Structure 1
Amino acid sequence: MSFVHADAAGVEDLPRHDAILAAEVFATDPVRFGGIVVRAPAGHARDAWMNYLASLLSAGTPLRRIPLHISDERLLGGLDLSATLAAGRPVAMRGILEEANGGVIVLPCAERLDPALASRITSAIDLGAIAVERDGFARKVTTRFAFIALDEGCSEDERLPSAIMDRAALHIDLGAADAKDFEADPVSRSRVTSAASKAISAMMPPDIIEVLVETAAAIGISSTNALLQALHVARAIAALNDRDLVSEADAAAAARLVFAPRATQLPQCQEPAPDLENSHPNEREAPADHDPQNQPAETLTAATKAAIPPHLLETLRAASAGRSRKQSSGKVGEKKKSEKRGRRVGVRSGAMRTHSRLNLVETLRAAAPWQPIRKVAQNSTDDGTGRRVLVTSSDFRLWKLKARSETMTVFVVDASGSTANHRLGEAKGAVELLLAECYSRRDQVALITFGGRGANLVLAPTRSLTRAKRNLAEMPGGGGTPLASGIDAAISVCAAAKRKGQTPCVVVLTDGRANLNREGKSGRSMAEQDAVDASHDLRALNVATLLIDTSPKPGPAASRFADAMNAKYLALPYADASILSGAVKSTQWRSPAL
């Protein structure tokens, strides 16, 4: 690895070439480039690349690793509890970001990075300083550092926080790399040292800048930060190749490293066909495709397009179209605060109660700044106890717990004569499929049918497969369509579920042809008005709802009720039980609109 060529023409292993080039560019001035995103699974190849990069950094450059669940005190700095208790006065503790001043931090599993943590890191990068005002003292320290974000995502849905992606100038993929590709080389180290002082003075021709701007626009990049990063990278590549003037090859390499992973669209390289009939004969001899002035832009755009990762644009479109796919197979309901059990998500002040959980360390941290004052007060009213640490009720810090509630799916099935012959069998199959999945998640399913003169709770909330299948097999059909009664029954079940702390979801299967009102009397106009009123009541309950139109020819009737209850509308004139089950699962984890 004693060579680096900006021109990748003829390079057989372009990803390996770019990985080496990105490491050397980053090592010339890590702080200037902000960061580098490395997409690769944990393994020998990634470790070898990390060791290679470390060998290129200046001697003594700090290199700190940031755990995923690091506390704010360890990240930004705070009160040194042990030193404070020993000294009897507040003693500050340095955070990792302060320790990394002039160096690099490593973010493992960056695709799982909490957005709040990413915001704190990028804020420190933007400001070049950390301000800490807590625990009885205030301090502001200067720190300038870069980051290496290790992206270990296995699926299209696992993406880095946008704040991290935007600050990272360089993006590489080591998926097909081998550990032997990255071996420390003294020649590379000396070249990086020499380029570090030359990069900032490398000249950038105006036409190269114009081409970079055109390339960024062609692939849908609107961020000026990405363009500035590409200019810095191009200068560093020119300096690594011992050139004082940035060439087209340097700009093409910079576009591959900076622009390609940020692409949001494919470049439109095709020109409209010329009008040969109306054009002058001399104009036909000089097509625009062979204009020498267009060649740099076309070359740079083509190089960037070739470096765009496969399926990148499809992933971006899927991410912007709706929810992340990883929510579709959900396990549990929405998150709710809890005092008894759940995952620890923070600390709060408050009084001790029966089920409260005391955070001893944070309690001592809150009490530490007040020790000098309290000890003076203790000496004036000495009771002989000689307590070393004085803690009052105002110092108590309790764990904040957040637990996910149990999910319950309520099926409201139209069993009237107009529906029983079309969709009743498929509704039974959907309930059975979903019940088997809910059983593995310990969730519940309830079944309400309406037909004849009212609604019946055929299947009370249960997880029992045997009981569910028996009741489903015996579910009758026929009679009128008391839609309002069915919705009212669903409201009662959902309200009871909410009182128990559960997260209900309603699935209504009907053709929307209500003909019986709440009192069981015939009359389509009154029945439809009662159904609309009941739909509004269900909407007020703020429950995720799906309405499946079971009519052979879907019309506006069912859609009207879906709008009234703020439900997702789905017309399935030709659907089987598995399709219905999939539609229900996609609705279970949709947050209801307020």
Structure 2
Amino acid sequence: MPQWPAHYPFSAIVGCDSEQLDDLGLALVLTSVSPEIGGVLVRGQKGTAKSTAVRALASLLPPVEVYRGDRFSVDPTDPAQHSPDGPFGPGTDVESRPVRLVDLPVGATEDRVLGSLHLEQALTHGKVAYEPGLLARAHRGLLYVDEVNLLHDHLVDLLLDAAATGRVTVERDGFSVEHAARFLLIGTMNPEEGELRPQLLDRFGMTVEVSAPTDPAARAEVVRRRMAYDADAEGFAARYHDDEEALADRIAKARGALERVHLSEAALLKIAEVCAAFEVDGLRADIVTSRVAVAHAAWKGRETVTRADIRRAALLTLPHRRRRNPFDAPGLDEELLDRVLGDEDPPPDPPQPPDPPESPDPSEGSEDTGPADADPPESQAPEETGPEETGPDSPGPESAEAPDGTDEAPDGEALPPTEPPQEAAEGAEDGDVSPPSSEGPTSTIGSTTPYRPRKLSVHGAGQGDEGRRSRAVGRRGRRIGSERPGSGRGTSLHLVETVRAAAAAPREGDRMRIRPQDLRVAVREGQESNLILFCVDASGSMAARKRMSEVKTAILSLLLDAYRRRDKVGLITFRAQEAELVLPPTRSVDVAAARLEDVPAGGRTPLAEGLLEADRVLRREQRRDPRMRPLLVVVTDGRATGAKGAVARSLAAAEHVAGQEVSTVVVDSESGPMRLGLALNLASRLGAEHLPVGEVNADALDSAVRGRAA
């Protein structure tokens, strides 16, 4: 009996047997059949077998042949590939080895990914030697990134460059190396922890949404298999021996049949129509969809791409390319897809007439002399019955308009006639006048289209995770100095300063020796990500439709900016009698946007409770991650109502928060010709920047400045 690997068998995963592949299993199989597809992004909740399926895939792939001793795994049959360990002559031994699964940790350094100078060789023997990185090890294999959405920006840039060129070029510390780096890029992520940069998202050929099964029988079967595997891993794997071999054999056969699959002109045009109908950016979607359709046809044993292949490919390749920003809902409108595809398979290309016989008279070759029995191949029978074969008939004008419905959304209706009278009641001089009702009616008001906001940043320089908001001293950016190792700020060796420190030390003999105390690392200045905590007034004074819509649009714009700058965000609202942490700090800004849209407005204004709740959240997050600096954004008109002394309590709370030395911005939502300036006074007590809500829009502010200059 063969020695089975310790990982969980692929065919033992519920939904991943060869005949009933779910979306996850099918996507992984197709990218194995055609590596040019560009990999798979698996999105889903924790505990849905994402990592298990990826790790089990490597054992199903055919082995690769490499030169013995070649650390870069170049293909001996490809003369265009050159290894830095070469040259390898015709007599060099060639060996076969399994495909590698290389893990790229989220916290990996750039040197570990690209490769670096071999310090031992450099310092002890004075030789410049290159130590290959993870991208070199992953060549002709699988590169797996768990929690790929949490990957640092500089590593994302490296992956983008390698994925685009298929090569890695390293220029540093006195050496230059270039090598091939073609791999299956497979990433898994939990959307609740944040979205992926659009540039990297587009590099994934396919994306799959996974979730735990809701059927109790299916859930029980998952648990049953997992417990059997934990009890006897080798015995469990042996029971799936035949299934694993059959699946690996089918993948190998599909790879071999890939070149024989015909993509007709009609099928190619249909793919272009689908991509145009869904308004995807660029032409990568067309190319990848074509490759997936061909791979799916090969997997199904067909020699011609059918409608079913195109439909299946579109469902895997287009959903993540339709998202313009992280607030767009993922997925694909399958009704629109069926309407574009139609009900019939694309017709095959007409047979080409044979070359005419040689004749001195050119006119003789103009006749149609094709053989009478050269009938076009019959179209393949439709695949298993499904939505693609029983699509709806052409809908009428009413049904075609039905999915939209935006013209009659609740947000477009007028407010109830009983609008709360807080605007007048809260405008009193002392600010303590309570509205007649302790609560008053509430309403939920939506936002409008977000815009480019002003950049808000934390004062000073920190040492937080890499991002694009505030100044930071860390591993990335321009080099500003050097220091001894151990501070955590610098990690890459500063060779010049190391040699300089060694040269300044007393020598023993004529030769300079580098001792551990002479080592120096580079200190760099770049940018960091921050925690952006929104503390939003949702009281009755904000309930006016125009005001609340403007406030929500400003916050939505700042959330989109936080996504681009790789920040964490949190959301606190205060209304009626208390403050509520609507969203604990997270990197999933789309969840924050969804929570923001559902925030109701109405009731009194417990400003003090909102500020104190913000203080509690910031203290807790500081204990969790002392390196992440916060930015508190208070969105309010400055009014404080409720019990007697509400204004005094709010000012005392503001001074308490100011004592914590937290960078704060007060977004003043007060509007109208009569303004009390209460938010400006609050900003003064907080030691915060005061920013009228209309000036959050960077484009509007730039226009105003240009108008004044003119």
TM exceeding 0.5? yes
Stretches of structure 2 that go unaligned for 5 or more consecutive residues are 1-8, 64-97, 214-218, 227-236, 324-331, 348-381, 393-402, 407-445, 466-471, 538-574, 578-601, 620-631, 706-710
| Residue matched to 2:169 | 131
The amino acid across from 1:236 in the alignment is: A
Q: Do structure 1's residue 545 and structure 2's residue 583 form an aligned pair?
A: no
1:429-483 Cα offsets, whole Å, 9 max, x none, are 3422322223313679999999xxxxxxx9xxxxxxx9985725999xxxxxxxx
| Residue matched to 1:502 | 663
Among 226, 233, 238, the alignment partner of 2:285 is: 226
Q: What SS is found at the alignment partner of 1:133?
A: strand
1:158-208 Cα offsets, whole Å, 9 max, x none, are 322222221222222331356569965211111111111221331112222
CA displacement at 1:244 relative to structure 2: 1.9
Preserved CA contact (<8 Å) 1:357 1:398: no
Q: What SS is found at the alignment partner of 2:673?
A: coil
The amino acid across from 1:163 in the alignment is: Q
| Residue matched to 1:25 | 30
Q: What SS is found at the alignment partner of 2:605?
A: helix
Preserved CA contact (<8 Å) 1:504 1:543: yes
Q: Distance in 2 between matches of 1:79 and 1:188?
A: 42
| Residue matched to 1:282 | none
- The within-5 A match list for 1:104-503 is 104-154=142-192, 158-176=194-212, 179=222, 185-263=244-322, 266=333, 299=388, 321-322=449-450, 334-338=457-461, 345-346=474-475, 349-350=479-480, 357=487, 362-363=492-493, 365-367=495-497, 388-389=513-514, 397-398=522-523, 400=525, 429-440=605-616, 441=618, 469=646, 471-472=648-649, 502-503=663-664
Q: Distance in 2 between matches of 1:104 and 1:163?
A: 20
Q: What is the TM-score when the length of structure 1 is the normalising length?
A: 0.58
Q: Distance in 2 between matches of 1:41 and 1:66?
A: 20
Preserved CA contact (<8 Å) 1:230 1:258: yes
Preserved CA contact (<8 Å) 2:308 2:388: no
Structure 1 residues 27 and 73: CA distance shift in structure 2, 3 A: same
Q: Distance in 2 between matches of 1:260 and 1:210?
A: 20
Structure 1 residues 2 and 410: CA distance shift in structure 2, 3 A: closer
| Residue matched to 2:61 | 57
Preserved CA contact (<8 Å) 1:406 1:501: no
Structure 1 residues 195 and 133: CA distance shift in structure 2, 3 A: same
Q: What SS is found at the alignment partner of 2:298?
A: helix
Q: What SS is found at the alignment partner of 1:338?
A: coil
CA displacement at 1:231 relative to structure 2: 1.1
Preserved CA contact (<8 Å) 2:261 2:298: yes
Q: What SS is found at the alignment partner of 1:362?
A: coil
Q: What SS is found at the alignment partner of 1:389?
A: coil
The amino acid across from 1:338 in the alignment is: A
Structure 1 residues 139 and 468: CA distance shift in structure 2, 3 A: farther
Structure 1 residues 57 and 301: CA distance shift in structure 2, 3 A: farther
Structure 1 residues 300 and 567: CA distance shift in structure 2, 3 A: same
| Residue matched to 2:558 | none
The amino acid across from 1:169 in the alignment is: G
| Count of aligned pairs | 442
The amino acid across from 1:115 in the alignment is: D
Structure 1 residues 130 and 505: CA distance shift in structure 2, 3 A: same
Preserved CA contact (<8 Å) 2:156 2:200: yes
Q: Distance in 2 between matches of 1:446 and 1:215?
A: 44
Name the % identity.
19
Q: What SS is found at the alignment partner of 1:147?
A: strand
Preserved CA contact (<8 Å) 2:28 2:57: yes
| Residue matched to 1:480 | none
The amino acid across from 1:397 in the alignment is: A
Deviating more after overlay: 76-85 vs 438-447: 438-447
CA displacement at 1:100 relative to structure 2: 0.7
Structure 1 residues 216 and 50: CA distance shift in structure 2, 3 A: same
CA displacement at 1:34 relative to structure 2: 1.2
The amino acid across from 2:474 in the alignment is: V
| Residue matched to 1:279 | none
CA displacement at 1:66 relative to structure 2: 0.7
Preserved CA contact (<8 Å) 1:35 1:146: yes
1:127-166 Cα offsets, whole Å, 9 max, x none, are 11111111122221122112101022237xx322222221
CA displacement at 1:246 relative to structure 2: 1.7
CA displacement at 1:101 relative to structure 2: 0.8
The amino acid across from 1:25 in the alignment is: L
